[in-house]
Structure 1
Amino acid sequence: MMIELQEGQKAVIRKQGDYAVVAITKHGVELARKLGHSLQHADVYYMSKFEKGDEEAKDIQLFTGSVRLLLPSLFEAYKGLIIIISLGAVVRMIAPLLKDKKTDPAVVVIDDKGEHVISVLSGHIGGANELTKEVAATLKARPIITTASDVQETIPVDLFGKRFGWVWDSAEKLTPVSAAVVNEEKIAVVQESGEKQWWQYGRPLPENIKVYQSVADALSENPAAALVITHRNLTEQENLILQNGVLYRPKVIVLGMGCNRGTSSEEIEAVINETLEELHFSRKSVKALCTIELKKDEAGLIEVANKNAWEFIYFTPDELNSIKIQEPSETVFTYTGAYGVSEPAAQLYSGAEKLELVKKKSGNVTISVAIIPN
């Protein structure tokens, strides 16, 4: 495919992978071809004057004209760009394209000899730092990463728990909390739920970072900043810790659900919202909606799970009956072959010894709630 770049026109590209590798020099083309072969999900682009004849077979896209005109389309389409052009030139070309660190793609620059791989843009959230390490390993080059938390091997506040699926409640305090962490100020980590294997370095936590079991304990020590990990909605008093803190929502809430056939997604979601509010739990911490195999095609349940990007899990009657429940029902057994649906489904998936809510019947819906132990 030949891309002819002209002023005022958007480049028409053929995106197949997640990353674009771009080169404009003879040596750069060799590096780009190597990366295209070695990296998964990478599309290669280089100038047509370096055509070798096998580009179509290798799905390599050639272009004519200024690479500056190609970058806007690549910037919009790809998760990351690997550009084999001088750093200064890349900075000038991408400057007009920058929007926000949460949406800009990762940008990695490689020198023409392939000796240095530099993380330029979206190092954390966009994944440029990890991409830099991967590309450098492929080329046997030196990775250049300047992000303070990576260099100091401390907590990356904007990525904290991301590999577990944790999400922030708000990004408002990410910058000042990050500054406190890298400046080695007094940091409180309060963890009530979620995975505990978040410290990624093979050494003890830095002395300035201390883990607390409760918000009250952390507040009593007046930390400069805080990272709070909980599925629970904080009380008014506890919210004081978020004056310079970030609240993370681990994926730990499991909803066990049963419903009458044909129950609308609106009714199901209303019961979920009401129940979580009663429990003072955050919707952002919901991981899965679980039910009986008989309901695997229940449109309302599927719609709610899909809408919220929750896992939709169903169990056979035998699997559900393997769990001893508080309120077995002969009536439910008559219709489903299981002595309960919402209770054992929530307990089976979560592995919890007890439920946060054993069972609540509301209209056409029955719901139970469990928390995955940490």
Structure 2
Amino acid sequence: MSNPYAIVAITKHGVEMARELCEKLPGADLYYMSKFARGDEEEKGIRLFEGSVKLILPDLFARYTGIIQFISLGAVVRMIAPILKDKKTDPGVVVVDDRGQFAISVLSGHLGGANELTRVVAELIGAAPVITTASDVQKTIPVDMFGRQFGWVIESFEHATPVSASVVNEEPVVLVQEAGEREWWTYEKPLPEHIRVVGSAAEAVELADWWKAALIVTDRELSEVESAVLLRNTVVYRPKSLVLGIGCNRGTSFEEIEAVVLDTLSELRLSVKSVRNVATIDLKKDEAGLLVLCEKYGWELVTYAPEELNRVELLNPSETVFKYTGAYGVSEPAALLSAGAEEWILEKKKSGNVTISMARVPGGAGVHAEVAQT
């Protein structure tokens, strides 16, 4: 399956609208009952089916991220009920009535993308979008989707539901942002007064008697004291704010590189989930250990030519590195260039066959740490 969306219809009018929608919606596959075949289905890649649509829904749920059904809402609810798992894995489901008056977000409105898909479908067919998710209706922070457009990931969903309730019920909420993109409030109205934004966990600790729930955007691990106070009803978000500059000897194993990366992050008390990418010299673009590391963690490998690296002023330029690579440093300048930063979190650490540096992508308040040279 290469397309993310499935469009399904079981009535004459539904098929007419579904065919029209499929022409307008990129990345959609169309399914309808064979009795409505027009003869051009094979040419257009349309899938025909016999019998009840209920029989094909389990397969559609497994194969697509979004399902648009031109079927009555009640029928859809009954058919999908037995195959639901949880909101982190179920696809987004949108229902359109037989006259195309309403596009309704039914399932996985946030994580499954049904709310946004509903808006798109409604605009394409001229229907009214129906979205009932409280955070969307109130135009406030959607806890389970916050920062998703930037690649932020939630550390744990354990408190997502009660924190969401605090947000939509207008209880006092503190939002801590120590790292990550700042352009997350997209509504024209001001941020609700019951949500207070602070720049550090320490400030949230001081406000502990005021807030009922917390949203924390940080790339670092909280201290024991912070955790004891802040994690009682909290969702922690990991922004993609860290860049690893890595240099290594040719043929260095993946296992050695990974161990240095994880040990260094642990020493700095920074989250591996906040690593955005690895940066190095272009001589290392085919280094097997680096490629395996990036594949395992889903990181991009960004490389620079020696002349690009030499434009960065280094505190400790190396004649030895220059002799072999043409650059006076690899990990340090690569980290700064890729992050777009002016200073390091970690200038350089040498461990065995690996040299690692670290920089933070500008945008957050930043909490700097140091590791002794080894």
Query: Per-residue CA shift, 1:196-222, capped at 9, x if unaligned?
Result: 001110121000011011222122223
Counterpart of 2:107 (choices 111, 121, 136) is: 121
TM-score relative to the length of structure 2: 0.95
Read off the aligned partner of 1:229 and give its amino acid letter: V
Match of 1:152 among 138, 141, 144: 138
Q: Distance in 2 between matches of 1:172 and 1:355?
A: 34
User: Aligned Cα RMSD in Å?
Assistant: 0.8
SS in structure 1 opposite 2:307?
A: helix
Query: Tell me, what secondary structure is at the counterpart of 1:45?
Result: strand
Distance 2:156 2:303 in 1: 32
| Number of the residue aligned with 1:213 | 199
Q: How far off its partner does 1:54 sit?
A: 0.9
TM-score normalised by structure 1 residue count: 0.95
Residue of structure 2 in register with 1:285 after alignment: 274
Match of 1:137 in 2: 123
Cα separation, partners in 2 of 1:300 and 1:226, compared to 1, 3 Å: same
Change (3 A) 1:351 1:28: same
1:80 CA drift (Å): 1.0
1:29 paired residue number: 15
Equivalent-residue separation in structure 2 for 1:194 and 1:66 (angstroms):
48
Q: Select 1:225's aligned residue among 213, 220, 245.
A: 213
Would you say the 8 A contact 1:116–1:144 is kept in 2? yes
Q: In the alignment, which residue of structure 1 is the partner of 2:65?
A: 79
CA shift, 1:77, in A, is 1.1
Instruction: Tell me by how many angstroms 1:16 deviates.
Output: 4.3
What is aligned with 1:7? none
Pairing 1:331–2:317 present:
no
Residue 348 of structure 2 is matched in structure 1 by 359
Tell me if structure 2 keeps the 8 A contact 1:16–1:43: no
- Cα separation, 2, equivalents of 1:186 and 1:162: 23
Which residue does 2:171 correspond to in 1? Answer: 185
User: What displacement does 1:84 show?
Assistant: 0.5
CA distance in 2, matches of 1:203, 1:231: 29
Alpha-carbon deviation of 1:141? 0.5
Residues of 1 paired with 2:362 and 2:4: CA distance?
35
Give 1:99's aligned amino acid: K
CA distance in 2, matches of 1:100, 1:175: 13
Q: Which amino acid aligns with 2:265?
A: L
For 2:347 and 2:53, how far apart are their aligned partners in 1?
A: 61
Question: What residue in structure 1 maps to residue 88 of structure 2?
Answer: 102
Cα distance in structure 1, aligned partners of 2:146 and 2:50 = 42
Letter matched to residue 252 of structure 1? S
Instruction: Output one character per residue of 1:22-58: Cα deviation in whole Å (capped at 9) or x when no partner.
Output: 1111100001101111100111111111111111111
Residue identity matched to 1:196: R
2:372 corresponds in structure 1 to none
Q: Which amino acid aligns with 1:29?
A: V
SS in 2 for 1:56: helix
Tell me, in whole angstroms, the C-alpha distance in 2 between the residues paired with 1:263 and 1:216. 41
Superposition pairs of residues 291-306 of structure 1, within 5 angstroms: 291-306=280-295
In 2, Cα distance between equivalents of 1:350 and 1:263: 24
CA distance in 1, matches of 2:327, 2:205: 47
- Aligned twin of 1:318: 307
Amino acid of the structure 2 residue aligned with 1:101: K
* Secondary structure of 2:231's aligned partner: helix
Match of 1:4 in 2: none
Please name the residue that 1:3 is paired with: none
The residue number in structure 2 matching 1:308 is 297
Distance 2:300 2:231 in 1: 30
The reply to whether residue 248 of structure 1 matches residue 237 of structure 2 is: yes
Give the Cα–Cα distance (whole angstroms) in 1 for the partners of residues 328 and 202 of structure 2.
42
- Among 181, 186, 193, the residue aligned to 1:200: 186
Unmatched segments (≥5 aa) in structure 2: 364-374
CA deviations 1:289-322 (Å, max 9, x no partner) are: 1100011100001110111001101100000001
1:53-110 per-position Cα deviation (integer Å, ceiling 9, x unaligned): 1111111111111111111111111111100111000000000000010000111000
The separation in 2 between residues aligned to 1:25 and 1:367, in whole angstroms, is 61
Q: Is the 8 A contact 1:288 1:312 kept in 2?
A: yes
SS at match of 1:57: helix
Q: Deviations over 1:213-257 (max 9, x none)?
A: 122212222311000001111001111211101111100111101
Q: Deviations over 1:116-151 (max 9, x none)?
A: 000000000000000000000001100000000000
Between the two proteins, what is the percent identity of the paired residues?
62
Quote the Cα distance in structure 2 between the aligned partners of 1:101 and 1:352.
37
Look up the match of 1:9. none
Classify the secondary structure of the residue corresponding to 2:67. strand
Q: CA separation in 1, counterparts of 2:356 and 2:338?
A: 14
CA distance in 1, matches of 2:54, 2:275: 44
